[in-house]
């Protein structure tokens, strides 16, 4: 029934739906253990490419050594893939078989 006191109430009100902003999926960068890459090189890479402190780098390197792998960080996909490519190229250039991978969080 129409409301004579408030005619606007009877009108159809257009509501614009906002698009939800999707949070970009993050990707884990993972270092894998091998029997040939030196611990010193792993620490150097963690400091140089991932800006880890000496303490953080040593902790991650020891985790990789003891557990077989460790997550180094979480990044947007393009950043994670770029870091993996840079580290792998540097490792190959220096003769290390270091394996670094990325996977969705």
Return the residue matching tokens 């393009």. Answer: 78
| Nearest to 1, CA basis, from 69, 71, 9 | 9
> Options 3.40.50.740, 3.30.1390.10, 1.10.10.10, 3.90.550.10; which CATH number does 18-104 get?
3.30.1390.10
Domain ranges across the chain: 18-104
Spatial separation of the C-alpha atoms in residues 91 and 94, rounded to whole Å: 5
pLDDT tens for 4-51 read: 666 555 566 777 777 777 778 999 999 999 999 999 999 999 999 999
Return the residue matching tokens 């020891």. Answer: 62
State the pLDDT at residue 15.
73
State the pLDDT at residue 11.
62
Return the residue matching tokens 């290390």. Answer: 96
Question: Does an H or E element contain 104, and which?
Answer: strand 99-104
Q: How far, CA to CA in Å, does 65 sit from each of 20, 33, 50, 90, 94? A: 42, 6, 18, 20, 20
pLDDT tens for 61-105 read: 999 999 999 999 999 999 999 999 999 999 999 999 999 999 999
Task: Tell me how far apart the terminal alpha carbons of the chain are, to the nearest angstrom.
Answer: 54
- For 75, other C-beta atoms within 10 Å of its C-beta total 20
Spatial separation of the C-alpha atoms in residues 90 and 98, rounded to whole Å: 10
């Amino acid at each position: 029934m129409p409301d004579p006191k408030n005619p606007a109430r009877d009108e159809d009100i257009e509501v614009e739906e906002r698009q939800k902003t999707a949070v970009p999926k993050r990707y884990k960068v993972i270092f894998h253990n091998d029997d040939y890459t030196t611990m010193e090189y792993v620490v150097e890479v963690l400091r140089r490419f991932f800006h880890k402190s000496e303490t953080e780098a040593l902790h991650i390197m020891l985790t990789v050594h003891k557990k077989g792998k460790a997550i180094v960080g979480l990044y947007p996909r393009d950043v994670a893939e770029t870091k993996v490519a840079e580290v792998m190229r540097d490792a190959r250039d220096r003769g290390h078989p270091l394996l670094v991978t990325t996977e969705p969080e």
